[in-house]
């Protein structure tokens, strides 16, 4: 069993890490890949990886929404592009020093959903933010290919649009040059883009969304995904499974690595195979992508 995408440097996971890891191991867990999202959690992520090196690998990346969160201010006084370049250059400098300590590049990708939620910025600034995200993502893909590291990719569109996933696929194809590998984490885009993603050689990451009543579209994607391309994740502390969400006795509801067991059980029902077989095959996929 594995958790290919989680944020162990975030609370409440960070404060209860020994118990969380013990629970994962007791359930038969083998591998965890913790992801950074900004400049602040890099060192914590690396420290966690070093402390639990037999189980936890580390992915370093800048989440696409990092730039709007750190370059847009209420007075609109900052030069968005100049600020983003400073941040990206700082990240690349840090990343190049930390390459021997990491297993993957991530979390990276594009997120047009959050840009779409911004009601008080101009269309010009929204376009600029998209361009900044694309430039950052290109750099992440280039570094991954140059260093033979897998990618953990985030692609989230505005509802009713496919612009984001199309841009992600295009950048991976252009910059990856057939050499990029990795996983499209928590893919919730249109099913028609599944084949282009698989044709790039990537796996699909499934999490507790498949346990939700609202997760029918993602369950359809799971049905259509070959078993040799399925990887499991939690995206913890986000997206706790439905059993946690509906349990009134649990006050602090969050996802943790041990939840993958339930996710696999639901996925096995969707795929009409045994949970044991699906766990075994998905572990092989994880090893092929993230451990080679």
Annotated binding residue 140: no
Annotated binding residue 2: no
* The pair of three-digit structure tokens given for residue 248, joined into one six-digit string: 């009134």
Whole-number Cα distances in Å, 89 to 44, 62, 94, 140, 271:
20, 11, 9, 12, 44
Q: Using an 8 Å Cβ cutoff, are 68 and 60 in contact?
A: no
**DSSP code of residue 75:** T
Annotated binding residue 73: no
Rounded to the nearest 5°, which phi and psi values hold at 93? -60, -45
Q: Using an 8 Å Cβ cutoff, are 152 and 35 in contact?
A: yes
Sheet containing strand 104-111, edge to edge, reads: 2-6, 31-35, 56-60, 104-111, 151-156, 182-184, 203-206, 230-232
Reported as type and span, the H/E element at residue 134 is: helix 123-146
Closest Cα partner for 45 from 14, 69, 22?
Answer: 14
Annotated binding residue 185: yes
Q: What SS3 state is found at 236?
A: coil
Rounded distance, CA 286 to CA 229, Å? 9
Indicate the length of the chain as a whole number: 292
Strands (E), the chain: 2-6, 31-35, 56-60, 104-111, 151-156, 182-184, 203-206, 230-232
Residues that constitute the known binding site:
5, 7, 107, 154, 185, 235
Residues that constitute the known binding site for a divalent metal cation:
5, 7, 107, 154, 185, 235
């Amino acid at each position: 069993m594995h958790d290919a995408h989680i944020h162990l440097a975030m609370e409440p996971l960070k404060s209860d890490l020994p118990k969380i890891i013990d629970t994962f191991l007791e359930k038969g867990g083998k591998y965890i890949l913790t992801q950074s999202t900004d400049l602040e959690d890099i060192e914590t992520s690396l420290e966690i990886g070093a402390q639990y090196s037999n189980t936890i690998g580390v992915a370093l990346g800048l989440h696409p929404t990092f730039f709007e969160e750190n370059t847009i201010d209420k007075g609109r006084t900052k030069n968005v592009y100049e600020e983003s370049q400073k941040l990206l250059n700082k990240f690349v400098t840090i990343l190049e020093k930390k390459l021997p300590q990491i297993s993957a590049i991530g979390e990276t990708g594009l997120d047009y959903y959050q840009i779409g939620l911004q009601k008080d910025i101009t269309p010009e600034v929204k376009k600029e933010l998209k361009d900044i995200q694309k430039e950052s993502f290109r750099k992440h893909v280039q570094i991954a290919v140059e260093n033979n590291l897998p990618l953990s990719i985030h692609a989230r569109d505005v509802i009713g649009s496919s612009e984001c996933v199309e841009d992600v696929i295009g950048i991976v194809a252009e910059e990856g040059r057939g050499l990029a590998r990795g996983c499209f984490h928590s893919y919730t885009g249109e099913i028609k883009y599944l084949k282009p993603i698989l044709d790039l050689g990537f796996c699909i990451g499934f999490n507790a969304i498949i346990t939700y009543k609202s997760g029918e579209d993602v369950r359809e994607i799971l049905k259509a995904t070959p078993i040799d391309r399925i990887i499991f994740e939690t995206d913890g502390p986000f997206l706790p499974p439905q059993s946690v969400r509906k349990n009134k006795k649990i006050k602090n509801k969050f996802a943790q690595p041990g939840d993958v067991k339930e996710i696999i059980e639901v996925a096995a029902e969707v795929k009409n195979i045994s949970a044991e077989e699906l766990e075994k095959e998905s572990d092989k996929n994880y090893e092929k992508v993230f451990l080679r």
